[in-house]
Structure 1
């Protein structure tokens, strides 16, 4: 498995503008009972994940004009993958948000549990 490609697919789902393609991408990334944890919420299962990703997409990508990008290489260790990401203006500009995702993979290679950390953004 190419873990940078997995991280790129993960980041791409948050940027996906087509709802049908977004749902298919979610099903390809997370198992049926896959979980996503961030400080303020927990989503479990494809329907809840679809709602979580769509809400973030609408707020950050559609309405605010940002894009999510993988930052650096993904790292794999004993069934887990960790990578950083940036949220940047689609038209160019400084990083608006930084994050780290820690993924626990299921036996089929899909995400069983996703822990997302929003990191402090350095001052410009």
Structure 2
């Protein structure tokens, strides 16, 4: 595996969620994630509880491959960033152990002038240092 700077990877990862240009966003998704990369999100508690009440044993939300990943990032951008409500940013220091990188992120609410969201990502990289598995745990 090529050497990477985990802080740089975390910064590029968070930046794509703030990216206003659709084409730049698409290119960044392709650069960050492997072609068959996955983003797996632990949903908010209310959504998880609703899924369990419907008989699902797992309520994780998943996006696979560049097209689904681009759609996921775009939807988050449109809902949280484009209206001017949030800006996502890295919080603290990213850490790497072999093919795993973990970091915290936060959602700064521009309207309230404070951090009102956040979480942790745990990334598993492939042999080219692109994201193969992206586990997101919102707070």
Same topology, TM > 0.5: yes
Structure 2 length-normalised TM: 0.82
Aligned-residue offset at 1:64: 4.8
Match of 2:122 among 102, 107, 112: 102
Bigger radius of gyration, 1 or 2?
Answer: 2
* Structure 1 runs not aligned, ≥5 long: 120-124
Return the TM-score normalized by structure 1: 0.92
| Structure 2 segments unaligned to the other structure (5+ residues) | 44-60
> Runs ≥4 in structure 1, deviation > 2 angstroms?
89-92
Q: Given the alignment of the two structures, is residue 60 of structure 1 paired with residue 63 of structure 2, yes or no?
A: no
Alignment partners' CA distance in 1, 2:104 and 2:63:
20
CA distance in 2, matches of 1:91, 1:76: 34
Instruction: Measure how far apart 1:39 and its partner are.
Output: 2.0
Judged with a 3 Å threshold, the aligned counterparts in structure 2 of structure 1 residues 46 and 82 are, in CA distance, closer, same or farther, namely: same
Q: Aligned pair count?
A: 119
Superposition RMSD in Å: 1.2
Distance 2:110 2:135 in 1: 25
